[in-house]
Structure 1
Amino acid sequence: MFPRPSVLRLVPAIVATTLVLAALSGQPAASVTVPLTIDGNADWVAHRHTLDIAPDGAFDFSFLADAPAGKHGSVRTTPDGHFEFSERPGQPVRFYGVNLTFTANFPKDAASARQLAGRLARSGYNAARLHHLERFLIRAGASSPADFDPDRIEQLDTLFAALKQAGLYISIDLYSNRTFTREELISFGLPADLPASAAQQQFKAVLPLSDAAFDSWTAYARALLTHRNPHTGLTWGKDPALMGICPVNEDTLAERLDLSPAIRARYRAAFAATHAVPASGSDTSGAAFNRFVHATAIRNDARMRDFIRSLGVTVPLTGSNYRNYQALTFVRDHYDYIDNHQYFDHPRFPGGSWSLPFAFRQTSAIAESAAVPRTLMPTRIFGRPFVVTEFNYVRPNRYRAEGGVIMPAYASLQDWDALFNFEYAWHRDLLLARGNNQTRGAFSLAADPVGLVADRLSALLFLRRDISPAPPAIAFSVDPEIAYRDIKYKFPDDFSRLGLVARIGSVASGHAAAGPGIDAIVTDTEAHPRFRLARQGVIPADSISDNNRRYRSSTGQIDLQPAQGTLVVNTPRAQLFALAPGTSGKGDVATVTNGETHAAVSVVSIDGKPLAESSRILITHLTDALPTGMVFGSSDRTVLQNWGRLPHLVRRGVADLRLRLPANAGWQLWQLDQTGARTASHPLDRDDDDILHARLSTVTPSGDTCLAYELARDILSTGIRNPDPQP
């Protein structure tokens, strides 16, 4: 039995306060909302947060690096839909990285850039996406987007070179959020006084229709891709460390048409100029117009592609990396690789955009049948690498630790090719652990102890290929006659749930045929295809329960029970458990019984050997962490009102861990700090059945916090590394 969390002792106080306020205000008690402030107590304990990683410690995953980036030639795509290096053909390569956004792309000096690159490499990352950087890179007051600030381009060059040297490949956009002069806006056909945030989005909408906008895009693209980095001796566009380019971030026209009535009017006029219009006027909601919009996107993508290739740049290209609509299949079918974005519990803004208060749902992704990344799965196109350059299980979601189990498990099951958590940091102060920004931002791993540890482990699991891809591949045949009826028509939910069992993706109608690489075809007109697929032996008969309460992957390694709130991943080198309060999970080696706090527990071989043979094992135990003084509108934590301050506080949680490992091996268990360094020994018992037992707690008897442990045989008690790099 586990002690009931003392935080529940706060409930009577909250209720009493509510009743008092209700009496004073004359309102019903149910209508009075009491703000919740996160403060240190027995259940929220101060945590020593750091971005550093101890060399050769349990969190030092630098053995995954193959530095410098580009040593095996340029990155290219393969006919079977993966990445490889030009000088290492036939060996597929995966990437796992983080986004650096805004001023985090501009370390103050070379030492800071090297420090950042080293931290990322030790975290297990082999890639980074440099994002939201243009408006800082272009000189203030410049009349041309090709006019770079000399200090900023030097900082960016230095960062690129440092990342490359540390073994990290780089992904970039050629437009995401730069601003424009009044004269530029007028030339694009946009209002001269358009606010900057609106102009950034409306530029994406007018780009396919405006030659002036295209010229502005080409000016920046040419300047960056042909810029020679003095620290590498190569231009950006021809550096083999550059692994992917998105010409325009999140430019999906289905989402941009209604940014203003004037935008839709321009598309309506362009449509009318090239199509016969009924006497009653142009139908801008029908299939013909929707086809036109997507054809316009395809033409614009083609001219951007032609321009980039005219510069001699051969880096793989993508686009339309936003939303899960069926008709986007016909746009994405022209890219070298497919990219898409998705967040779990992305903030909403009941006040102003990106201004507090932020609103959250505070729900569990497991309870929603791994909605992220499940609903992304149909958007993969078979025969192309699939990449997610933005994902996050967003702080302050109380269940977000489960993301460190969900994403590597299902991305590996799908055999995806690259993942980029959004984000590592949005401000360079976060990189230096200084200033007032260390608790701000819903996405930054650097400001979230739970997210930071979970993502390090995700990188290791994904890059080391610990979780097997599903053998069967099931394709959804996208029918244009159906997809174009509604410009925002999504894939059926039933089809996405097949992705919890098998590899799934889409193909454009006419390209679809079961055969080599594809085991079955599903269409929009088929309800509940899992029954047919089970009868045909494409998926195991028991892989999806009749009531959708359990999903077992075709590999047998992943067991998801949404109603119970559990996800168990059982592989030879890693056993992962995301558990609701009071539940348990069992693997071949590890069994975990959770206490009364949602938690994610992972047991992972560090030396690359199967757990049963390993001499060094990493154990993580993640609950929740929030800054001191973070304020919510109520105890349900759905409305965030204040970011709080340091120190971070870790939520108390306990779990029982049992391990079936070789007897008489002299096992020792060590508590770790956030750098991965050992801080103290931890009790470890062996029962009469030779099962090792440890009681994990995120709060130690001494009052410190502990999110991770190292289990090692006595021969390694001083700590050494025995890496097993994987392809």
Structure 2
Amino acid sequence: MLPLLVALAIQTWGGPDTWAFAPPPDDFRSDAMLDLRYLNEKVAGESGYVTADDKGDFRLGNGKPVRFWAVNSGVGRDVPFHPRPLGRQTEPDLARHARFLAKRGVNMTRLHAQLSPDLGKHPDAKITDVNVEERDWIWRSVAAMKKEGIYTTISPYWMVPMKFSKAWGIPGGADQSAAGLLFFDRTLQTGYRAWLRALLSEKNPYTGIPLAKDPSVALLELQNEDSLLFWTFGNIKGPQKHALGARFGEFLVKRYGSVQKTITAWQGEKLPEDDSAAGVFDFYGLWEVPNQLSAGKSQRLGDQIEFLTETMRQFNKETADFIRNELGCKALVNAGNWRTADPTRLQDAERYSYLPTEVDAVNKYFSGIHKGPNEGWAIVNGDKFTSPSLLLDPRPGPFNLKQTHGRPIVVTESSWVMPAGYSSEGPLMTAAYQSLTGVDAYYWFATGDDEWSQPGSANGYTPSQTKWLFANPDMLGTFPAAALMFRSGYVKRGTPAVYEVRRPADIWKRRTPIISEEPGFDPNRDSKDVVPGMPVTSGVNPLAFLVGPVEVAFGDDPAKSRVDYSKYIDAGTSTVRSNTGELALNNDKGFCTIDTPSAQGVAAFFGKHPAFKLSDVTFISRNDYGAAAAVSMDGKPLRESSKILLQFGTRSRPTGWQEKETTIDLGGGKSTPGLEVVSFGKAPWQVVNADLEIAIHNPSITRASVLDMNGNAIGVVPLKREGEIVRLTFPKNAMYVILGR
């Protein structure tokens, strides 16, 4: 088989150990044996708006609990469609795309747009003019998804592509960065509100109703990837920094009573750009947050953190009120989805600023090191990378989230990012652990193809391989079992492994929490200044995220904090078990098992541990790596089910992909072993042949149908009956088998 942990020599993908992944367009046959469209409503929003309950879970309009298996899609955005020399040559079909996603278990899409005027196309646009092309794409997409029972999340603004016109008269001029400005600049906020009004209040010509009245719009995201607590805060300069400093002065006078009393409270601490006579105060760089500081400097930095947090919180409240009261939109609102300059000390402040809205969110990817000239967007020959797996180190898992008690949280962007190569574990582990912890939605990033994405140029012009995708065999190919398991509630939600009560005042003082979702969090090193008097006097092992929900509540009594996780972590066997008893992960042998009545599976480095005997299913594989699952399709336990989906994902790479061992220079005299791309290959994907034996305890199964990638039966697999046990060999060049009577 192809080597997995490292490439011992240059080896080309393609040959007898792999099969070419080139499925024909889906014809959506009525007799398809695998079609999860039935999980969706006939029309999204048919029973009303999605709501959030007091447990932090989503519910449909009829009160039925719902979890969202979601994707980020840009299909149909390029109008008119312009083929690129090395890119797609045919226009993607938005209606086909919606049907394709629904068939594979998707019930939510995120439309990440930019509603500010396109000054390249419309240089004379006013700041209040909406980007009509982007708006039309959103309108068309909502209509197409709605017909297939797929809800929509709309992300209308990102500071990175935001451009200013000189004619707008925005303080700081046309060439400044937009980072952080939306939170306080009134000119920009005026334009932003006009864009929201044009998007939500005008009639969508493709549905006949405005988005503000369309219950298929489940979630509105105020802005993407911006925060006054992130490093981009340093980009605020000149008149904008002065204006924010003046607001800081007003905040301080309100707190202390006067400028002089403020300076006294700070023990005389000053910064070069302070203008105390005018009531304007400068800001520390956020690199000061983790440092040990003098009492006066610490007090000043604490006031700064509180002010910046409250500035964001006020913007979130005002905007949510505008959406609710002026535009009459009932969709749930998410304030933001970003991280901070110091995730351990500041992430709770970021989430605190979200409280005026209903839903929390984060963008969080799983990836290794990637070094190359276009490392942010493309893979080219000569790039160096590492290829980690959560099975070997689960701490960076994108589902390891510290949730605000009683509030939904969603992952608005995520993927197992190329060129890292162990991504078939992703959907299965995400479905399992988000079910355990109560994370309500996961949005895979991203696609511009209506069906599968084959290997190809990252931008359509540069010979390369794109890194930001999910529509490959490893991830999209393993959606069905994961989506079915997640959306059906087959994995139980656990009880809190960690519940921490945090006073906002302690957050401003930069006291560390007892646990952080930062992968590098060290409970011994990073938790030395927790709140005195807490029942938890030291840090919590980050593996607690795999035991059960990790929650934070903003309150006045840290003594109510509690933990219950250590008995589920066995350092001797390198095993972490969920407090439900259904999940287990061993990072020494590299495997994760799911064992519930209606869903059982394993993601593993089978070379280290080839056989897994679960309650009703045994998996034995000679593959080096893969993810196998058996999931009931009729809601019954596997022992009683009359229709079971068997799914197996291995690994894939582009045809002709070559890699070799190398050393990656990390700077500062540090290095790490890694891999080098010798050839980024070409279409189609090459998938490692399956080598898997399965035994299932079910007395009624009599037939096994092998399916193609469109869920259509293409043959049968011989079964061997041994009493109530049925055995089969999984076909080497397939991913799905349906067991039935």
Say if 1:61 and 1:121, in contact at 8 Å, map to a contact too.
yes
Alignment of 1:298-447 (within 5 A): 298-309=313-324, 310-323=326-339, 324=343, 325-345=347-367, 348=370, 350-352=372-374, 353-357=376-380, 360-369=385-394, 371-376=396-401, 378=402, 380-423=403-446, 425=447, 427-428=448-449, 440-446=465-471
SS of the aligned residue for 2:485 comes to helix
Residue 243 (1) aligns with residue 218 (2): yes
Structure 1 stretch displaced more, 105-114 or 396-405: 105-114
Structure 1 stretch displaced more, 267-276 or 383-392: 267-276
SS of the aligned residue for 2:102 comes to helix
Pair 547,483 (structure 1): closer, same or farther in 2 beyond 3 Å: farther
CA distance in 1: counterparts of 2:657 and 2:127, whole angstroms = 39
> What is the deviation of 1:76?
2.1
SS of the aligned residue for 2:606 comes to coil
CA distance in 2: counterparts of 1:50 and 1:505, whole angstroms = 45
Say if 2:75 and 2:93, in contact at 8 Å, map to a contact too.
no
2:65 equivalent in structure 1: 92
CA distance in 1: counterparts of 2:111 and 2:691, whole angstroms = 38
Note the alpha carbon deviations across 1:519-556, whole angstroms, 9 max, x for none: xx24xxxxxx5xxx3xxxxx6x7422245821221211
2:698 equivalent in structure 1: 661
Pair 566,431 (structure 1): closer, same or farther in 2 beyond 3 Å: closer
CA distance in 2: counterparts of 1:548 and 1:321, whole angstroms = 36
* Counterpart selection for 1:183 from 159, 166, 182: 166
1:46 equivalent in structure 2: 20
CA distance in 1: counterparts of 2:676 and 2:568, whole angstroms = 38
SS of the aligned residue for 1:248 comes to coil
AA in 2 matched with 1:117:
A
CA distance in 1: counterparts of 2:234 and 2:167, whole angstroms = 19
> What is the deviation of 1:630?
3.6
Alignment of 1:223-238 (within 5 A): 223-238=198-213
CA distance in 1: counterparts of 2:617 and 2:677, whole angstroms = 37
2:477 equivalent in structure 1: 453
Note the alpha carbon deviations across 1:126-149, whole angstroms, 9 max, x for none: 111111454798882251465456
Residue 174 (1) aligns with residue 163 (2): no
Structure 1 stretch displaced more, 333-342 or 399-408: 333-342
Residue 646 (1) aligns with residue 683 (2): yes
> What is the deviation of 1:251?
1.8
> What is the deviation of 1:586?
2.1
Alignment of 1:320-719 (within 5 A): 320-323=336-339, 324=343, 325-345=347-367, 348=370, 350-352=372-374, 353-357=376-380, 360-369=385-394, 371-376=396-401, 378=402, 380-423=403-446, 425=447, 427-428=448-449, 440-446=465-471, 448-472=472-496, 474-486=498-510, 491=516, 494=540, 496-510=542-556, 521-522=561-562, 529=563, 533=564, 542-547=567-572, 549-582=574-607, 583=609, 584-630=611-657, 632=659, 634=661, 638-640=675-677, 643-662=680-699, 665=700, 667-687=702-722, 691-696=725-730, 699=732, 705-713=733-741
Pair 40,236 (structure 1): closer, same or farther in 2 beyond 3 Å: same
2:192 equivalent in structure 1: 217
AA in 1 matched with 2:14:
G
AA in 2 matched with 1:241:
S
* Counterpart selection for 2:40 from 62, 65, 77: 65
Say if 1:106 and 1:156, in contact at 8 Å, map to a contact too.
no
Structure 1 stretch displaced more, 551-560 or 647-656: 647-656
2:97 equivalent in structure 1: 116
Say if 2:642 and 2:701, in contact at 8 Å, map to a contact too.
no
CA distance in 2: counterparts of 1:243 and 1:346, whole angstroms = 33
Say if 2:600 and 2:614, in contact at 8 Å, map to a contact too.
yes
> What is the deviation of 1:487?
9.9
Aligned length: 642
Pair 381,117 (structure 1): closer, same or farther in 2 beyond 3 Å: same
Pair 488,475 (structure 1): closer, same or farther in 2 beyond 3 Å: closer
Pair 348,269 (structure 1): closer, same or farther in 2 beyond 3 Å: farther
Say if 2:650 and 2:688, in contact at 8 Å, map to a contact too.
yes
Pair 243,666 (structure 1): closer, same or farther in 2 beyond 3 Å: closer
CA distance in 1: counterparts of 2:685 and 2:108, whole angstroms = 28
AA in 2 matched with 1:668:
R
Pair 589,319 (structure 1): closer, same or farther in 2 beyond 3 Å: same
* Counterpart selection for 2:142 from 160, 166, 183: 160
AA in 2 matched with 1:232:
T
AA in 1 matched with 2:691:
V
Pair 606,482 (structure 1): closer, same or farther in 2 beyond 3 Å: same
Structure 1 stretch displaced more, 631-640 or 241-250: 631-640
CA distance in 1: counterparts of 2:484 and 2:117, whole angstroms = 33
SS of the aligned residue for 1:306 comes to helix
Residue 101 (1) aligns with residue 60 (2): no
Pair 483,617 (structure 1): closer, same or farther in 2 beyond 3 Å: same
SS of the aligned residue for 2:478 comes to helix
SS of the aligned residue for 1:475 comes to strand
Pair 567,329 (structure 1): closer, same or farther in 2 beyond 3 Å: same
SS of the aligned residue for 1:179 comes to coil
2:180 equivalent in structure 1: 205
Say if 1:429 and 1:435, in contact at 8 Å, map to a contact too.
no
CA distance in 1: counterparts of 2:58 and 2:181, whole angstroms = 33
CA distance in 2: counterparts of 1:459 and 1:384, whole angstroms = 22
Say if 2:395 and 2:543, in contact at 8 Å, map to a contact too.
no
Pair 435,625 (structure 1): closer, same or farther in 2 beyond 3 Å: closer
Query: Relative to total residues, which structure has the larger helix share, 1 or 2?
Result: 1
> What is the deviation of 1:644?
3.1
> What is the deviation of 1:270?
4.8
Note the alpha carbon deviations across 1:617-662, whole angstroms, 9 max, x for none: 2111111111123454647874557653211101234222222221
* Counterpart selection for 2:302 from 273, 284, 287: 287
AA in 2 matched with 1:669:
A
> What is the deviation of 1:99?
0.9
CA distance in 1: counterparts of 2:247 and 2:476, whole angstroms = 48
> What is the deviation of 1:706?
1.5
Pair 374,148 (structure 1): closer, same or farther in 2 beyond 3 Å: closer
- Return the TM-score normalized by structure 1: 0.80
CA distance in 1: counterparts of 2:558 and 2:80, whole angstroms = 48
CA distance in 2: counterparts of 1:467 and 1:634, whole angstroms = 39
Note the alpha carbon deviations across 1:553-599, whole angstroms, 9 max, x for none: 12111111121211110111111101113313221111112324111
CA distance in 1: counterparts of 2:229 and 2:120, whole angstroms = 32
CA distance in 1: counterparts of 2:117 and 2:108, whole angstroms = 22
Note the alpha carbon deviations across 1:307-330, whole angstroms, 9 max, x for none: 222211222111231225232232
* Counterpart selection for 2:248 from 271, 287, 291: 271
Pair 383,151 (structure 1): closer, same or farther in 2 beyond 3 Å: closer
> What is the deviation of 1:299?
1.6
Pair 641,347 (structure 1): closer, same or farther in 2 beyond 3 Å: farther
- Identical aligned pairs, as a percentage? 24
SS of the aligned residue for 2:230 comes to helix
Pair 657,369 (structure 1): closer, same or farther in 2 beyond 3 Å: same
> What is the deviation of 1:158?
2.6
CA distance in 2: counterparts of 1:300 and 1:150, whole angstroms = 25
